[in-house]
C-alpha cells in the first residue's frame, strides 16, 4: 500500500493493466483479460469526489451503474461499448482526465475475434466481471476504497 | 471405506471343492447359522438348545487336510473323546440339560445322528441351487396381484400383519418349549473375542485345548450366553469383540436394538420377502391352523388400516357405483362378503387375491440330477417364490388399474371411476377392477361416510392419495465376488483351507436371512435419523421392517427423501476371515409433495409411479415422482448436485431469494448474476459480492478467484441442464 501511494494513479493503472495481462484466467483467458481491461478503462475514467460522505455515496452507486450501462449498451464493438458506458456515466460522474493509455488497452479498440468474444462475455457475465475488476481496482489502484465501502456498509447496519 | 459396515460374527460354512460343487464360502455368520437351524430343525426343547451351540468350536478355524478323501475337514464338533482337545460335549450338555450326544453326532449319518433332522435337510446343502431345506417348514403369504404403488400400502400392511402373527405364534411356542427345563431364557448372546495367538508348527493338541477351554456357556436370568474365542494371527484384529444377541420374543425390533447387536425373531424367521410374497420359516413344534392364522392376520391388518384412516368397507350403493354392470345382476344372489350391512372389501382381498399356505416338511420337493447324473431331492426357492404368479395364471378377469388377472364374486363389469377421478388417462375408459383396486378407489378424498361424520371425523381422507413413502426390505440382493477380501489365514488352518483367496460365495436359506437383516438395519437407520425419538421406536410396519408414510406425514416424506442418499452408500460385511462388499436391496414406492400442498391429496399420484427395487450401492438409481408432475431419475449424483447447490445457497437465507436464485440459474444465469438478481430489490452489487463471491471464492488470488468462479459456473450449468425441474426440490416460499 505504501508503494502504491508513491505512484501516480496513472502509474498504478498501468500496473493494473500489466497485472491483468499476467493473470492466468482459465480457458477463456484472452477474452476475460480484454473484458477486464475494458472495465478498468471505464472504472479508471471515474474520479470519486473529495469529501468522505460524497465518496461513500458515489462508491455505493458506481459499480452497479457500470453493470447497468454495460448491459444496456447496444454497441456492436467492445470499444464502442466502453465509450457507451463512459458516455452514459458522464452526466453523473466526474471524469478523470489522464494521458492516453496507449498499448495496454489498444486491443480494446481493435476489431478482432477476441474483442468480439470479450464484448459478448461482458454482456453476459457482467456482474462477476465487474466484481472482479472492482477487486482488482481496490487491490492495485485505490485500496482506500475498500475501507470507505466498509464504512458505508457499517452505516447501514 | 464403506459407509455401512456389518459384523454378525465369523462365517459358519464353506463348500469344499471335493463335493464337485466348487470351492466357496457362505457369508452367514455362526449365530445366524446356529439360530436358523435351531428354529427350523428342532422337534423339541432339547434339540433346539443343542442346535444353539452345535458348531461351538467353528470359530477356532481348526482345519485339517483329509488326504484320503482329498478334502478339508473343519474340526469343530464338541465331543466326548478324552484324547480330543474339543472334549466338551458332556460338560455343556449337562449345563444346558440336554441329552449327551445330540451335539456330538450332529454331522453323522441319519441312523447315527441323535437329532431328528439334519442340517442339510434344513438349510440345504445344495449350494448354487438356491434351494431351501426339504425337511424344514414354512409359511408363505402370496399376493395374487401385480406390484403397483396404489396397492403397495395395502399389501405392506397385510404383509406386516402376517409377519407379526407368525412371529408371535412362534415366540409363544418357543417360550412354552423353553419353559420346560432350566436354564430358561429368552435371549441367546453369542460372544466372539478375537485374540492374537502364536502357536507351534504344527500346533500341539495342548495348545488347541487351551484355546478351547476358553469357550464357555453361561446362564443369567432370561439369557443364555455362548462365548467363543477366535484365534487370529494379525495384530490389527487382536482385541476385537463381537456380540450378537438373539431375541426370541416377538418384540418388534428398533434401531437401538440393532445398534446393540440384537437380532429379532422376525428376522430369523424371514427367509424371503418381496412385493409378491413373504416366506417365513417355522419350527416343527409349532401347531399351525392356516385358517385361524388367516383370520388373525386379517384382524391385525384391519386394525392397522383403520388407524391409517383407510376404508375397507363399502355400502352396496358404493360398490354398485364402482362399476357399470352389463345386463341384469341380482346383487342379493351374489356371494359378497359382508360385515353387517356393508361389503367387506378386505375380506374379498383375503379370499380372492391372497393366499397363506403351509409348506410342510417334505412338501414341494423335486428330483434333480447333477452333471454327474446323481439324483437328489431339492426344494427350489425359485419355484416357491414364483407361486403367486402361478396362482394368477389362468384367472379369467383383468384389472384395468393394476393389470392383474383375477377372479372375484363381484360382478364382471366396466369400472366407473367416478366424477372426482380426474386422471382417466392412467386407467383407461373401460375394464374390470380387482378387489385390491376397489379399496384404492373407495378411499377417495371425498369418501367420508355418514358414520364417520356422526363420530366427528371430518375433513378430506388423505391416507390413500397424494404423497406416499414405503420402504421395505427386499430379498433381491447381490454381492461382489471381486470385492471379497480374505483378511488372513487363520492360525489354526493347518490344512490350508484358506491358503487361497476363496473368493467365490454361494447362497443358502441363511444368506437370505442375513441380507434381510442388513436391509432392515439400513431402513431402521433411516427411520432413526428422521427423529431423535425414533431410535427406540419400532418402525411404522415393524415386522415387515418397513417405513410407511402417507399424505398426512408429507413433511416426514420430505425428510426421508433428504436421507435417501443413504441408499447410494457402499455396504461392507465383515465375516471373519473375509470382508466383502454386498448390495442388500430395499423396495421403494415414493411420491412426495414439495410445492403442491393444498390439493395434492386430491390427485391420483399413486397411479403415476411404480414401486422399484433399489440395491444399496453407489451405482444405484430410482425414479421419483414429485408434485404429481415431475418424474425424474434420482441417483447419487443427484444428491451430490443438490448438496452443491445448497452449499452455494448457504448465505442466501431467505427462501424467496433462494427461489429467485434458482430461477435465474435455470434460465441460464451464472451463479454470481443469479445472486445479484435474487437481491435485485437492493439495487447494489453488494449481495452478489458478499453473499456469493466472498463466501465461495475468498482466500484465493484474484486470478484463482476467477478460475474458481468459472468452475462453479460450469458445475451449476451442468446441474441446471441435468435437472431442469430442480427447483421443485426446493421449498416454494409461503405467501406472507
Model ipTM value: 0.92
How many domains, in total, are found in chain A? 1
Give the nearest chain A residue to B675 (CA atoms): A127
A134–B685 C-beta distance less than 8 A: yes
Q: Which domain covers residue A146, as residue numbers?
A: 2-156
C-alpha cell read off for B96: 444346558
Using CA atoms, how far apart are residues B472 and B527, in angstroms rounded to an integer?
Answer: 12
Other C-beta atoms closer than 10 Å to the C-beta of B660 total 20
Contact B226, B56 (CB under 8 A): yes
CA distance A144 to chain B (A): 17
Chain A residues close to B688, C-beta within 8 Å? 127, 131
Of A25, A28, A130, which is closest to B703 when you measure between CB atoms?
A: A25
A93 confidence band (pLDDT: 50, 70, 90): low
CA distance B680 to chain A (A): 11
Of A25, A67, A125, which is closest to B685 when you measure between CB atoms?
A: A67
Note the pTM of the prediction, 2 decimals. 0.88
pLDDT at B161: 98
Look at residue A12 and tell me whether its pLDDT is greater than 60: yes
Contact B556, B592 (CB under 8 A): no
pLDDT at A2: 46
Domains of chain B, residue spans: 296-357+386-454, 468-632, 641-729
Q: Is B240 exposed, middle or buried (0-12, 13-18, 19+ CB in 10 A)?
A: middle
Q: How far is CA A128 from CA A73, B192, B663, B688, B710, in A?
A: 18, 61, 18, 8, 10
Give the nearest chain B residue to A150 (CA atoms): B686
Interface mutation target, options B671, B678, B684, B689, chain A, most CBs of A under 10 Å:
B689
Which residues of chain B are at the A interface, by a Cβ-Cβ cutoff of 8 Å? 670, 672-673, 676, 683-686, 688-689, 693, 702-703, 705-707, 709-710, 713
Look at residue A147 and tell me whether its pLDDT is greater than 80: no
A and B: number of Cβ contacts within 8 A: 57
CA distance B732 to chain A (A): 26
B705–A130 C-beta distance less than 8 A: no
Look at residue A19 and tell me whether its pLDDT is greater than 90: yes
B689–A131 C-beta distance less than 8 A: yes
CA distance A134 to chain B (A): 10
Q: Is A29 on the interface with B (CB under 8 A)?
A: no
DSSP notation for B268-334: HHEEEE-SSEEEEEE-TT----HHHHHHHHHHHHHHHHHHTT---EE-HHHHHHHEE-SS---GGGS
Average pLDDT, consecutive stretches of 10 residues, N- to C-terminus, chain B (736 residues) = 88 79 85 97 97 98 93 94 96 96 92 92 70 93 95 97 98 96 96 97 95 96 97 96 98 97 98 96 97 98 96 90 76 90 96 98 87 82 94 92 92 68 59 91 88 90 90 91 88 93 80 96 97 95 97 92 93 95 95 80 83 94 83 89 89 88 93 93 83 91 96 95 80 62
A54 confidence band (pLDDT: 50, 70, 90): confident
CA distance B653 to chain A (A): 17
Q: Is A20 on the interface with B (CB under 8 A)?
A: no
Using CA atoms, how far apart are residues B294 and B300, in angstroms rounded to an integer?
Answer: 10
Main-chain phi, psi angles of B119, to 5 degrees: -65, -45
Between residues B529 and A106, the one the model is more confident about: B529
CA distance A124 to chain B (A): 8
Look at residue A99 and tell me whether its pLDDT is greater than 70: no
Amino acid at each position: 500500500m505504501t508503494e502504491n501511494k508513491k505512484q501516480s494513479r496513472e502509474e498504478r493503472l498501468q500496473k493494473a493493466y500489466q497485472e491483468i495481462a499476467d493473470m492466468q484466467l482459465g480457458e477463456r483467458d484472452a477474452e476475460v483479460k480484454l473484458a477486464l481491461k475494458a472495465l478498468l478503462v471505464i472504472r479508471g475514467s471515474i474520479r470519486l469526489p473529495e469529501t468522505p460522505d460524497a465518496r461513500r455515496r458515489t462508491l455505493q452507486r458506481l459499480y452497479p451503474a457500470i453493470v447497468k450501462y454495460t448491459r444496456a449498451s447496444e454497441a456492436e464493438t467492445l470499444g464502442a461499448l466502453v465509450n457507451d458506458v463512459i458516455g452514459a456515466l458522464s452526466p453523473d460522474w466526474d471524469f478523470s482526465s489522464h494521458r492516453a493509455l496507449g498499448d495496454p488497452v489498444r486491443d480494446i479498440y481493435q476489431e478482432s475475434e477476441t474483442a468480439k468474444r470479450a464484448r459478448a462475455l461482458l454482456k453476459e457475465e457482467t456482474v462477476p466481471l465487474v466484481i472482479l475488476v472492482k477487486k482488482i481496482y481496490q487491490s492495485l489502484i485505490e485500496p482506500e476504497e475498500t475501507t470507505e465501502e466498509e464504512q458505508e456498509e457499517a452505516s447501514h447496519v | 471405506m464403506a459407509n455401512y459396515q456389518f459384523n454378525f460374527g465369523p462365517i459358519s460354512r464353506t463348500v469344499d471343492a471335493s463335493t464337485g460343487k466348487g470351492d466357496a464360502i457362505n457369508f452367514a455368520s455362526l449365530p445366524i447359522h446356529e439360530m436358523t437351524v435351531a428354529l427350523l430343525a428342532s422337534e423339541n426343547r432339547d434339540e433346539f438348545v443343542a442346535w444353539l451351540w452345535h458348531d461351538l468350536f467353528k470359530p477356532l478355524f481348526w482345519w485339517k487336510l483329509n488326504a484320503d478323501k482329498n478334502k478339508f475337514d473343519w474340526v469343530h464338533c464338541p465331543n466326548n473323546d478324552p484324547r480330543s482337545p474339543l472334549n466338551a460335549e458332556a460338560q455343556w450338555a449337562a449345563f444346558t440339560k440336554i441329552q449327551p450326544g445330540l451335539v456330538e453326532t450332529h454331522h453323522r449319518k441319519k441312523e447315527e445322528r441323535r437329532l431328528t433332522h439334519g442340517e442339510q435337510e434344513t438349510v440345504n446343502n445344495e449350494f448354487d441351487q438356491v434351494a431351501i431345506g426339504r425337511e424344514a417348514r414354512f409359511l408363505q403369504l402370496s399376493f395374487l396381484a401385480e406390484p403397483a404403488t396404489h396397492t403397495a400400502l395395502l399389501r405392506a400392511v397385510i404383509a406386516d400383519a402376517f409377519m407379526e402373527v407368525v412371529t408371535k405364534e412362534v415366540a409363544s411356542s418357543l417360550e412354552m418349549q423353553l419353559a420346560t427345563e432350566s436354564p430358561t431364557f429368552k435371549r441367546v448372546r453369542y460372544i466372539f473375542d478375537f485374540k492374537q495367538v502364536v502357536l507351534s508348527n504344527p500346533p500341539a493338541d495342548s495348545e488347541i485345548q487351551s484355546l478351547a477351554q476358553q469357550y464357555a456357556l453361561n446362564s443369567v436370568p432370561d439369557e443364555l450366553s455362548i462365548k467363543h474365542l477366535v484365534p487370529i494371527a494379525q495384530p490389527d484384529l487382536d482385541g476385537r469383540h463381537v456380540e450378537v444377541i438373539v431375541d426370541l420374543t416377538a418384540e418388534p425390533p428398533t434401531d437401538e436394538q440393532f445398534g446393540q447387536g440384537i437380532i429379532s425373531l422376525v428376522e430369523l424367521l424371514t427367509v424371503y420377502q418381496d412385493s409378491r410374497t413373504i416366506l417365513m420359516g417355522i419350527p416343527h413344534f409349532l401347531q399351525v391352523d392356516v385358517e385361524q392364522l388367516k383370520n388373525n392376520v386379517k384382524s391385525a391388518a384391519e386394525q392397522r388400516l383403520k388407524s391409517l384412516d383407510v376404508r375397507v368397507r363399502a355400502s352396496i350403493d358404493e360398490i354398485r357405483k364402482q362399476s357399470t354392470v352389463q345386463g341384469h345382476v341380482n346383487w342379493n344372489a351374489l356371494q359378497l362378503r359382508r360385515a353387517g350391512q356393508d361389503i367387506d372389501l378386505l375380506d374379498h382381498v383375503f379370499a380372492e387375491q391372497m393366499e397363506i399356505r403351509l409348506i410342510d416338511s417334505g412338501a414341494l420337493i423335486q428330483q434333480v440330477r447333477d452333471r454327474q447324473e446323481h439324483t437328489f431331492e431339492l426344494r427350489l426357492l425359485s419355484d416357491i417364490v414364483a407361486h403367486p404368479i402361478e396362482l394368477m395364471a389362468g384367472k379369467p378377469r383383468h384389472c384395468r388399474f393394476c393389470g392383474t388377472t383375477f377372479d372375484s364374486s363381484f360382478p364382471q363389469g366396466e369400472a366407473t371411476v367416478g366424477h372426482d377421478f380426474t386422471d382417466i388417462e392412467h386407467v383407461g375408459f373401460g375394464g374390470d377392477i380387482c378387489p385390491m383396486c376397489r379399496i384404492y378407489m373407495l378411499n377417495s378424498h371425498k369418501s367420508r361416510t355418514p358414520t364417520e361424520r356422526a363420530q366427528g371425523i371430518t375433513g378430506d381422507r388423505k391416507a390413500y392419495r397424494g404423497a406416499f413413502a414405503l420402504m421395505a426390505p427386499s430379498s433381491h440382493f447381490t454381492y461382489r465376488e471381486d470385492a471379497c477380501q480374505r483378511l488372513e489365514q487363520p492360525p489354526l488352518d493347518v490344512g490350508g483351507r484358506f491358503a487361497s483367496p476363496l473368493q467365490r460365495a454361494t447362497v443358502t436359506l441363511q444368506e437370505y436371512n442375513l441380507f434381510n437383516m442388513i436391509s432392515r438395519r439400513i431402513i431402521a437407520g433411516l427411520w432413526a435419523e428422521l427423529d431423535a425419538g425414533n431410535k427406540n421406536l419400532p418402525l411404522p410396519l415393524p415386522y415387515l421392517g418397513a417405513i410407511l408414510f402417507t399424505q398426512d406425514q408429507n413433511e416426514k416424506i420430505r425428510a426421508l427423501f433428504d436421507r435417501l442418499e443413504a441408499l447410494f452408500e457402499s455396504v461392507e460385511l465383515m465375516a471373519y476371515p473375509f470382508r466383502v462388499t454386498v448390495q442388500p436391496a430395499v423396495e421403494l414406492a415414493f411420491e412426495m409433495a414439495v410445492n403442491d400442498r393444498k390439493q395434492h391429496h386430491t390427485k391420483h399420484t399413486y397411479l403415476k409411479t411404480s414401486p422399484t427395487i433399489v440395491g444399496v450401492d453407489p451405482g444405484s438409481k430410482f425414479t421419483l415422482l414429485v408434485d404429481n408432475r415431475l418424474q425424474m431419475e434420482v441417483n447419487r449424483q443427484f444428491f451430490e448436485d443438490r448438496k452443491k447447490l445448497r452449499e452455494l445457497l448457504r448465505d442466501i437465507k431467505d427462501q424467496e431469494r433462494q427461489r429467485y436464485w434458482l430461477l435465474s440459474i435455470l434460465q441460464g444465469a451464472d451463479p454470481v448474476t443469479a445472486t445479484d438478481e435474487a437481491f435485485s430489490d437492493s439495487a447494489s452489487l453488494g449481495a452478489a459480492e458478499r453473499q456469493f463471491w466472498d463466501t465461495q471464492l475468498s482466500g484465493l488470488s484474484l486470478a484463482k478467484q476467477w478460475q474458481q468462479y468459472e468452475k462453479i459456473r460450469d458445475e451449476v450449468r451442468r446441474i441446471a441442464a441435468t435437472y431442469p425441474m430442480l427447483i421443485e426440490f426446493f421449498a416454494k416460499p409461503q405467501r406472507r
